[in-house]
Structure 1
Amino acid sequence: MDTIGNLIEKMDEKAIKFVRLQFVDINGVPKSISVPFGNDDDIEDMFNDGVLFDGSSVDGFVEIHDSDLVMKPDPNTFSLLPWRPEESCVCRFICDIYTPENKPFEGDPRGILKKSLKKIKDKGLSYNIGPEPEFFIIDQDEEGNYIPHDDASYFDVEPLDKGPNFRRKLVVDLEELGFEVEASHHEVAPGQNEIAFKFDDALKTADAVITFKQAIKAIVDNMGYMVTFMPKPFFGVNGSGMHCHQSLFKGNENLFSDESSKSGLSQDALYFMGGLLKHSEALSAVVAPTVNSYKRLVPGYEAPVYMAYGLKNRSALIRIPAARGKGTRIEYRSPDPSCNPYLAFTAMLEVGLDGINNKIDPGEPAEFNIYNLTNEELEEKGIGTLPASLWEAYHAFEENNVIQKGLGKHISEKFLDSKYAEWDEYRIQVFGYEQKKYIGL
C-alpha cells in the first residue's frame, strides 16, 4: 500500500496536473470531479479530509434537505488514464463516500461491498471473483439505426472478425491500467467481443469492472466507433453476459477445493451453490437489473435460464469449470454487464454465505442439456426458471431478507425505488412490434 507521501512523489514524477476523483451511483454509473494538483499540503488534505459534494444530485444517495457528502480517495486505486492525451497529465483515484461526521455513508455501493468483505476478513477469509464482461462494437447505418460492427461469430479471424485491432489496443491500454488480461476473442454474436481478466479480491475486481467499461468506451470512441454493454442490443442473436467465477480462500487455501471428493468440490462449495440457487430469483434483480436484461435471459441463446448447477454444463445457471485445486471455482452465469458490480458481488457473497451457514443442499448436478427438457420434465426434476421480467425479479427481491440485509436498508429501498420507476417507464411505451402486430385489429 502506497503512503500518501509516496503517492505525491509519484504524482510529481508523472507531472500530474489534475486529479480525477471517481465513485459510482446506485446503478453503477461512474461520477467524477477533477481537482487541480496544487501544493502537497492541499493533496494531503484531500486524502485525509476528502472533498465535499452535493449528494442529492446523485441517483440513490441522499435527499436535498440533507445533501452534504464527502468523497475520500482510496490511495490504492491510483491510476493514469491511457485513453487521455499525454499532455493532459490526469490521474484517477476511486473514492469512498462518507458523511460530514466522517462515518461511512450507508448508500455508497463500494462501502457496502467493503462491509461484507470485512465480515469474512475477520474470519480469515477472502472472496475472489473473476468476471467475463462481454460487449458489442457497433456502428450506425445511413438511417441512424445501430448495427453490429461485423458479421463474425465465435473465435472467428480476419477478415470476418473486424475486432482484432480494437482488442489489441484495448488489451495494451488495459495492461497499462494494471489489468492481467487472460484472453480476448470474438464472441458468438455479430460485433460481440470478450476480454477476460484474471480473478482477484472482490473489491479490487469491482473497481476493475468499472474501470474496464469506462476504458473500453473511451478507447473505442477515440477510434471512431461505439461500444455497448447493453445486455441484449439486437434481436435474434446472443446477448452479453458477465459470467462471474468465484471462490472463497483462507490464506492460500481454496475452500471450494476438496481433492478427496468425487467432484473435487468441498462441502462449502456445494453449500455456497445452494445459497446461490435458493436466492437466485431475488438475486436476478441485482445481477440482471434492467428491463433489457430479461430479453437476454430467454431460452435458445446460450443464456442461463434454469436454476440448476452442473459440472462443465453451460445450460445450467451455475457451471463448475474443469480446473481443480487452487483453480476450483463456481461460475454464476446470469449476471450481465449492466449491473453495479459492487452490489452484485455483495449480493452473491451474502447468499453464498447464507448457503454455507444454513447448509443449503444444491441437490444433484444436472449433467444433461437442460434446454432440451420439456416443462413437464423440468418440473419432475425440480428445476425452476429465473424471472422472465424485471417486474418478477424485483418482487422476489422485495421478499428476500438475506439480500436486503446484505445491501442495507438505504440501498435496498433506493434500489427498489429505481426499479419501480424503470418498470413503470417501460410498461407504458408502445413499440414498433406492437404496432405491426396489432394495428389492424
Structure 2
Amino acid sequence: EFWVKTPLEDAAIEEMSASQVLQEQYWERTHGIVRTAMEQCLEVLDKYGFKVEMGHKEGGGLKAQIDENGRMTHVCEQLEIDWRFADALQAADNELFVRTIVREVFRAMGLEVNFKAKPMIGLAGNGEHTHIGMAAITKDGKLHNLFTADDQKKDFMSAIGYGSLMGLLKNYEVINPFVSATNDSLNRLKPGFEAPVCVVTSLGHNPKVPSRNRTILAGLIRDLENPMATRFELRACNPYTNTYLVLAAIYSAALDGIKAAVEHTTEECVAELSKDAGEGGFYLEQSRAYRSEKDVFEDYTEEERNRLFGAPPATVWENMQGFKNYPEKKAVITAGGALNDRIIESFEEGALLRWKTELIARIIPANRAIVRGAKEIQSDIVTDQDSYNWTKINALRNYLAKDSIDEKSLFTLLINALNEGDYATASGLQVEMYDKIEELKALYDAYVKNMI
C-alpha cells in the first residue's frame, strides 16, 4: 500500500478522516493522472516479470480537482498493488524492485509517492501484508502445499500448517522487532483502522467457511477449490519492513512449531490453537489465548486484549526489548542459522540509533512547531469557554516546550534522556509526548472552531 499526492499540497486530514470512516472511497475506481500512472506502473511491472495480480484504490483520500489549465490538483489517495509469490529470497528482492519502480513511474507523472507506515496521523497507514506458505516437490515432480489439509472440508490446515502458525504466534515477541522497527511503523499499529496490534489469529468459524477477520495479526487464507492457495498472511508488516530478516525469523519460528505439531493429530492442533487463556497445552503458552473469530477491537476492551493476547509495544525501544526479555524465543529464531546474535545485535543497534536520531532531529522539532502554531486568537467576542480552552492550551504548551531554571519541559527531558542513554525513561516520555500532542491538537481545534 502507498499514498500518492500532488507535490507541495497539504492534506486535509479531518476531511479525509471523515471520508475514511464513511468508507466513501474504498475500492473506488481511480481517475485521471492517478489511473494513468497506475496502469503504466502495472505494465512496467509485468514487463519485469513480477506477474501483478491486482492494482486498485485502497481506502480514504479526497476527490481530485481540475484547475483552469486542465491539470489535476489536490490529489491525495491510497493505492495498493499485489504481485505473485516467489521463494523467500526472491520475494524479498522483488519487494525492493517493485517499490523503486512504483516510485519512479508515479514521479514521472508528477506525483509523489509515500510508502511510510503512517504518513498522516488520523488516516489509514500503509501495510504490506506478507503471505507465508510452504511447499514440497516430490520425486514425481509434483508440487504439494504442505499447509493444506487432506480434507479441506474437515480441517482448516495440515499439522504442518498449524505448527507454522503456532510457531509464529508463540515467538512473535522476537519477530515483531524486525516487523516494526521505526517510530512510524508503531504509529500505524494502534487500535483502529484494522491495525493488527494483537498476537492472535483467526481460522474461520468452521472449515467450510473461510475466515474474513481483518482485525487479527495473522490470518489463514484458504480456497476450498484450490488446495495450492492455503497460506497465512502476517498483517503487521509495512513497506519499509526488512522482509529478508522477517522471513528468516518467521520460517525459523515456524519450524519450531512444526516440530511440536507433527507429533499430534490435526484435531489436537486446532484445539491447542483454540485454547483459552489459562488452559495448558502441548506447545503454546498457558497464560495466553491465540485464536479469536471476533472483532478484537469491538468485542474486547483494551484490558481484555492485553490480558488475553499480550500488551503491544508502544515504542521502538519497548519492541527491541523482546530480544532481551525472551532469550528462549531468541534461541528459536537463531537455531537454524539463518539469523545469529551478531545480526540481531547489529539490527537492534541500528534501530535504536534511528529511533533516537529521528526523535531528536525530526519528531520533537515537528511537535515544537505544533506547539508554536497553537497561538491565542484575538477576537472581539471572547466567551468564558474560549478563556477556559486557552488556559488549558497554554498550560499544555508550557508543559511540552517551555523550560525554566528549576523545571524542564517534556521535550527537554526526552532529549536529555536520549542523549544520556536512559532509553527506558525516554520511551515513557515519548509515549507521554504523543498523548499530550494529540490532546493539544484536539483542544486547539475546539478552540479555533469556537471563534467567530
Range into which the TM-score falls when normalised by the shorter chain: 0.5 to 0.7
Runs of at least 5 residues in structure 1 that lack an aligned partner in the other structure: 1-133
Q: What is the aligned counterpart of 2:46 among 170, 175, 189?
A: 175
Aligned-residue Cα RMSD (Å) equals 2.4
1:320 and 2:220 aligned: yes
1:418 is aligned with what amino acid? G
Give how far 1:341 is off: 1.7
Give how far 1:147 is off: 7.3
Q: What is the aligned counterpart of 1:338 among 236, 240, 243?
A: 240
1:317 is aligned with what amino acid? L
Give how far 1:263 is off: 3.6
Indicate if the aligned counterparts of 1:141 and 1:147 stay in contact, CA closer than 8 A.
no
Q: State the partner residue of 1:258.
A: 149
1:215 and 2:215 aligned: no
Shift in CA distance, 293/177, structure 1 to aligned 2, threshold 3 Å:
same
Indicate if the aligned counterparts of 2:202 and 2:220 stay in contact, CA closer than 8 A.
yes
Q: What is the aligned counterpart of 1:415 among 324, 347, 352?
A: 347
Give how far 1:434 is off: 5.6
Q: What is the aligned counterpart of 2:301 among 374, 397, 401?
A: 374
Indicate if the aligned counterparts of 2:198 and 2:309 stay in contact, CA closer than 8 A.
yes
1:294 is aligned with what amino acid? L
1:137 is aligned with what amino acid? V
Indicate if the aligned counterparts of 1:281 and 1:387 stay in contact, CA closer than 8 A.
no
Query: What is the rounded CA distance, in whole Å, between the counterparts of 1:386 and 1:259 in structure 2?
Result: 36
1:157 is aligned with what amino acid? R
Runs of at least 5 residues in structure 2 that lack an aligned partner in the other structure: 62-76, 138-142, 204-210, 262-268, 276-290, 375-392, 400-452
Q: What is the aligned counterpart of 1:402 among 318, 332, 354?
A: 332
1:157 and 2:29 aligned: yes
Kindly indicate which of the two structures has a greater share of residues assigned to strand: 1
Alignment partner of 1:300: what SS?
A: coil
Report the count of equivalent residues. 303
Alignment partner of 2:297: what SS?
A: helix
Indicate if the aligned counterparts of 1:163 and 1:186 stay in contact, CA closer than 8 A.
no
Indicate if the aligned counterparts of 2:30 and 2:57 stay in contact, CA closer than 8 A.
no
Give how far 1:139 is off: 2.5
Give how far 1:378 is off: 3.0
Worse-matched range after superposition: 396-405 or 192-201: 396-405
Query: What is the rounded CA distance, in whole Å, between the counterparts of 2:306 and 2:343 in structure 1?
Result: 35
Q: State the partner residue of 2:192.
A: 300
Q: What is the aligned counterpart of 1:270 among 139, 159, 162?
A: 162
Query: What is the rounded CA distance, in whole Å, between the counterparts of 2:352 and 2:30 in structure 1?
Result: 45
Q: State the partner residue of 1:363.
A: 274
Q: State the partner residue of 1:141.
A: 8
Q: State the partner residue of 1:353.
A: 255
Write out aligned runs for 1:80-91 (5 A): none
| Structure with max Cα Rg | 2
Shift in CA distance, 426/404, structure 1 to aligned 2, threshold 3 Å:
farther
Note the alpha carbon deviations across 1:49-75, whole angstroms, 9 max, x for none: xxxxxxxxxxxxxxxxxxxxxxxxxxx
Q: State the partner residue of 2:127.
A: 241
1:392 and 2:334 aligned: no
Give how far 1:404 is off: 4.7
Worse-matched range after superposition: 183-192 or 166-175: 183-192
Alignment partner of 1:330: what SS?
A: strand
| TM-score between both structures, scaled by the size of structure 2 | 0.62
Q: What is the aligned counterpart of 2:111 among 201, 210, 225?
A: 225
Give how far 1:158 is off: 4.6
Indicate if the aligned counterparts of 1:284 and 1:335 stay in contact, CA closer than 8 A.
no
Alignment partner of 2:135: what SS?
A: strand
Q: State the partner residue of 1:192.
A: 78
2:333 is aligned with what amino acid? I
Give how far 1:243 is off: 0.6
Write out aligned runs for 1:49-64 (5 A): none
Give how far 1:259 is off: 3.5
Worse-matched range after superposition: 358-367 or 183-192: 358-367
Query: What is the rounded CA distance, in whole Å, between the counterparts of 2:110 and 2:359 in structure 1?
Result: 34
Query: What is the rounded CA distance, in whole Å, between the counterparts of 1:385 and 1:240 in structure 2?
Result: 22
- Following TM superposition, the consecutive aligned residue runs of length 4 or more in structure 1 with deviations greater than 6 angstroms are none
Indicate if the aligned counterparts of 1:404 and 1:412 stay in contact, CA closer than 8 A.
no
Query: What is the rounded CA distance, in whole Å, between the counterparts of 2:109 and 2:43 in structure 1?
Result: 15
Shift in CA distance, 387/241, structure 1 to aligned 2, threshold 3 Å:
same
Indicate if the aligned counterparts of 2:316 and 2:352 stay in contact, CA closer than 8 A.
no
1:369 is aligned with what amino acid? D
Indicate if the aligned counterparts of 1:184 and 1:195 stay in contact, CA closer than 8 A.
yes
